[in-house]
Amino acid sequence: MANPYAPPRAVVRDIADPSALVTAADRGTRLGASILDGIIFGAMVYVPMMFGAIVSGATAAATGASDPNPMAAVGVGVAVIGFIVYCWLTIMYMQRNGQSIGKKLLGIKIVRTDGSPGSLWRLIGLRTVVNGLISIVPLYALVDSLFIFGETRQCLHDRIADTVVLKA
């Protein structure tokens, strides 16, 4: 017979350490996300600009006109709109969950090294703008990229911004 005055018993299961469940993104996945971002940017900005220039040049050659063709202006206009849309999408995804368009498509995200979400300044300002300014130094981009082969898989721009790229 059970003791009615005994304290209640509960079964407690061990829970996993949340930091152990976090996995760094693969180097190939990070490279793929970067390439995807470049392709998407090119499709939204450079393709319309080149298309307008090509059509404008072909039209001018066919008609023998030396006047600027309106198709060139249309191409530049569409490229500017594409640039604005790309920037808006990137800022929106970065602010929401630390992902660029390519990172979102490949299921990886950027967080602080302590696991907390990064601020927009840290994600865009330090990782992109400051890193872009430093890249004026010859061979910096190569050194930055080679840091990914370290144990923590952090590029130099990750270390500057105190961030890490994880599987989402």
Count of alpha carbons within 13 angstroms of residue 125, beta-carbon side: 7
**Distance between CA atoms of residues 55 and 49, nearest Å:** 10
**Distance between CA atoms of residues 103 and 85, nearest Å:** 17
For residue 24, the 8-state DSSP code is B
Place of tokens 């849309």: 85
**Distance between CA atoms of residues 66 and 21, nearest Å:** 64
Per-domain residue ranges of the chain: 24-167
Both structure tokens of 30: 């990070």
Three-state secondary-structure class, residue 2: coil
**Distance between CA atoms of residues 32 and 106, nearest Å:** 8
Each residue's pLDDT tens digit in the chain (168 positions)? 788 888 888 777 765 555 555 688 999 999 999 999 999 999 999 998 888 888 777 777 777 766 667 777 888 889 999 999 999 999 999 999 999 999 999 999 999 988 889 898 888 888 889 988 999 999 999 999 899 898 888 999 999 999 999 998
Is the model's pTM score more than 0.85? no
